[in-house]
Amino acid sequence: MKYIYAALLLYEVGKEINEENLKKVLEAVGEEPDPGLLKSLVTSLKSIDIKEVLESAVAMPTTVAAPTAAPAEEEKEEKAEEAEEEKEEEEEEALEGLGALFG
């Protein structure tokens, strides 16, 4: 993904997408570029119209389900129930201990 992002960055600023420029971008962020991946990416991108791909990606409708708070609320309720059950068990154990003293 880093290589793709580097290529998109070069495209966005109007620089040529070549091995040298990609290498500079990747090195600027502390990444040691793989020459084979650079060459492969540059070769692959020569046959792609990046502008067209980006426009079609933006125009593509997406449906993303909004996250619901229900699972988080259920989890909180479960934890509260567990805590309550533990408290009740502790109280029962304490009462049993007292019963042994007077039994």
Number of H helices, E strands in the chain: 5, 0
Interval 11-33: pLDDT, tens:
999 999 999 999 999 999 999 99
Residues 6+ apart with CB under 8 A from 91: none
Q: Indicate the pTM of the whole model.
A: 0.55
Residues across the chain: 103
* Contact between residue 39 and residue 17 where contact means Cβ atoms under 8 Å apart: no
* Contact between residue 23 and residue 38 where contact means Cβ atoms under 8 Å apart: yes
Interval 69-88: pLDDT, tens:
567 777 888 888 888 888 88
Alpha-carbon distance 25 to 45, whole Å?
17
